[in-house]
Structure 1
């Protein structure tokens, strides 16, 4: 009888040990928790139809809140905020002895999102569900959970206060942008003829750049209908590319569309097509890569935060140039002067053409992710499956960024110089940020 009880006890202990996943599996599960909750923030942005530069700002502050939990309670990680253009005077709370960094960092991100997004209240239920799930999966006491929640909210409050001084709240006070009828300048495009988005975005404070025009590209090709001019030749390239587009090019164009303002008309009814922004697409790629890579939850939070902060600066630089050059879109030129019935494959976004926002953002993102995760990091990008698009596979972040850039030509919404100069602009921003931080990534590669 004694032997039987001992055997049962050993079997019970063995089964319990097998039920507890190894630490690496726990790490992977917590990274997925983080990326899943970040997607909840993206879902609220979809609901609110957040524009690309604003989305980048919201991602930046949300992930910065998560990262502040990590950096305040870990070794080997750099204080990114010490390199900001305007260094914040954070008064971070004392972490509780019961601190669970995985939980508190993710919860801080959700708490920041709740306060900063127009419909952030939608994240309240997500916070509660995440807390209940984490407590159940990792057996936290009610007291421990409450202490971590209070700490995460306090950290988020400090970051939110810093966000309140970045100039975003004053954007509506600037002189309203009014399109000009002059040749070569931007004018609202069909089918919805939406007014220009965020014409004063250059007044939002960057994180790392000294100014919005620090990385201004060369001037775009001047408007000209002379058949020998660069502008006319680029116009005809867009025109013929769309007319002769093949299946692969059309799939690429749609995969990287990322236009939250797309509208479909059925009779007299306009239907908004929900799509993620370029920044949201790259945040999704970061999540895919971090779940695949052999890294810690802390490092995954770091990757997301630095990427989001860099995307924010990239959009400030790009938007400054868009409204400085105020360049006409291919659709407007072609319909006015070449072919009234021509339509691009993608709907033209509602802001000036030069430089290409996706080109700038993607190039800067690729520089950051390549430095942090590797030069030949292959991945399957399923971030658009949610929107009914197939998975695309890439051998590196650079390959993905280059495809995102050229997709704007295939889609008929950008001229070639806006794409190529946008890539150069984005790369310059990414390298500048890395150099400013002087990162030694090997020192905290897996900690």
Structure 2
């Protein structure tokens, strides 16, 4: 059923794209980004790594837009240490080149990037059916391949390639520290992620949150009350709270067990969810192609830096998860609604990246931007309506309490940290001369 829903989503995107004029490729951006999500779901890419792939794959498209649209600032004005692109990016077919660049960069970076070869071939056929000149298609692919090579070369300098050579993480054998959780007891995900070079923020610890609530197993202590809140809420959660928890689950690989049988369920990551929100918002706002790429790239940048910032604190405090504490000191049989992710608890990653994404989207599209989020339809979850991006971020954050996988202080401090990261990305956008779209930025004039 889920596979059929994904296929239907692609068909809908295709029909919408074919309904546009031949020179307008705006509605092809979101399905290109979703192609990345689909491959990452196949590969079970973890959330921090997923944010990195989105950022680099969108950067190539942004570079091409900036090279051909003088109203769009060069990526060097946004990204720290970004090398000036080589000549050869200017082409009348730059929008096509940008689309192909998303896929070509993913093909080179993703573990199963070869799967995108079919998406590239399908895009070629779609363009041919729309009577796009073959010379424009060939030129676009050639430019995209050069751009992808440039992006990959830049990505290799962020120290990601050194992670596998670092010492394996060993959980600290101290009270109150994180330890692998049921049902799979997976080892910690990306314990050295803070060493990856960020794109905009100065360092991984630039926005380190205040220390978590002091650990204590004593009833009546502040920490015990945090754990009791999680436990009590799980016993009386409303249907709405359960729905919110499921909607924002975004666990790339959850495992359900029944006796000796284990089943794995793949979903989009938190970053994938917010990238899809960006696509939904771009379409509702009626942004043109160049503005859509700018919007998606800005969100991807915020996601990558937000995960780097968050993971720095996660493995500094290495705090225990609610499931571990509650099973030991409150109820040995208790289970959270959502499967506990395999990394330390503080702060809440979804809170950090949601707040960061919401700040960027709010700056570009406005604080009262209402939209319907149907990102989870493919997982048989009903769409949800939001009055603003910040409201959505707040709901995503509190969903971790409803799901039983985070304490409240990890959520509130995560929101503070993510907002700071998002504001830093927004400051860089302003510094580069990128104005809110509703203020008449030239690139969105239809």
How big is the shift at 1:40? 1.1
Pick from 87, 93, 97: which aligns with 1:100?
93
How big is the shift at 1:280? 0.3
Write the deviation string for residues 43-71 of structure 1: whole angstroms up to 9, x where unpaired: 00000000000000000001111111101
Of stretches 148-157 and 433-442 in structure 1, the one that deviates more from structure 2 is 433-442
2-structure distance, mates of 1:155, 1:428: 31
Q: Which runs of 5+ in 2 are unaligned?
A: 1-15
Pick from 77, 85, 100: which aligns with 1:82?
77
SS in 1 for 2:312: helix
Counterpart for residue 156 of structure 2: 164
The residue correspondences of 1:415-430 to structure 2 (distance < 5 A) are 415-430=407-422
RMSD value, Cα: 1.8
Write the deviation string for residues 215-239 of structure 1: whole angstroms up to 9, x where unpaired: 0000000110222321111110001
Contact 1:261–1:349, Cα closer than 8 Å, also in 2: no
Pick from 361, 367, 370: which aligns with 1:375?
367
Contact 2:24–2:289, Cα closer than 8 Å, also in 1: no
Cα distance, 1:144–1:28 mapped onto 2, change above 3 Å: closer
How big is the shift at 1:119? 0.1
SS in 1 for 2:21: helix
Write the deviation string for residues 260-318 of structure 1: whole angstroms up to 9, x where unpaired: 13101233232210111000000010111111112111100000001001100000000
Pick from 126, 133, 141: which aligns with 2:119?
126
Whether 1:356 and 2:351 are equivalent positions in the alignment is no
Whether 1:72 and 2:100 are equivalent positions in the alignment is no
Counterpart for residue 403 of structure 2: 411
Q: Which runs of 5+ in 1 are unaligned?
A: 1-20
Counterpart for residue 45 of structure 1: 40
How big is the shift at 1:30? 2.3
Pick from 129, 141, 158: which aligns with 1:136?
129
Contact 1:80–1:437, Cα closer than 8 Å, also in 2: no
SS in 1 for 2:212: coil
Whether 1:311 and 2:311 are equivalent positions in the alignment is no
Counterpart for residue 107 of structure 2: 114
Write the deviation string for residues 367-404 of structure 1: whole angstroms up to 9, x where unpaired: 00011111111111000001111111111101100000
Please, what TM-score do these two structures have when normalized by structure 1?
Answer: 0.92
How big is the shift at 1:94? 4.2
Contact 2:82–2:154, Cα closer than 8 Å, also in 1: no
2-structure distance, mates of 1:444, 1:231: 52
1-structure distance, mates of 2:136, 2:428: 38
Counterpart for residue 13 of structure 1: none
1-structure distance, mates of 2:19, 2:444: 11
The residue correspondences of 1:274-353 to structure 2 (distance < 5 A) are 274-353=266-345
Counterpart for residue 193 of structure 2: 201
2-structure distance, mates of 1:26, 1:196: 49
Counterpart for residue 446 of structure 1: 444
Write the deviation string for residues 308-367 of structure 1: whole angstroms up to 9, x where unpaired: 011000000000110011000000000011100111000000000000000000000000
2-structure distance, mates of 1:102, 1:298: 8
Counterpart for residue 265 of structure 2: 273
1-structure distance, mates of 2:103, 2:259: 40
Cα distance, 1:214–1:256 mapped onto 2, change above 3 Å: same
Counterpart for residue 8 of structure 2: none
Pick from 32, 43, 48: which aligns with 2:27?
32
Contact 1:171–1:200, Cα closer than 8 Å, also in 2: yes
Write the deviation string for residues 64-96 of structure 1: whole angstroms up to 9, x where unpaired: 111111011002112233332323243242434
1-structure distance, mates of 2:155, 2:319: 31
Bigger Cα Rg: 1
1-structure distance, mates of 2:120, 2:22: 20
SS in 1 for 2:25: helix
Counterpart for residue 51 of structure 2: 56
Pick from 262, 268, 281: which aligns with 2:254?
262
2-structure distance, mates of 1:326, 1:386: 34
Contact 1:52–1:278, Cα closer than 8 Å, also in 2: yes
1-structure distance, mates of 2:165, 2:136: 45
How big is the shift at 1:243? 1.1
Write the deviation string for residues 387-435 of structure 1: whole angstroms up to 9, x where unpaired: 1111111111011000000000000000000000000000011111111
How big is the shift at 1:29? 6.4
How big is the shift at 1:176? 1.3
Cα distance, 1:389–1:91 mapped onto 2, change above 3 Å: same
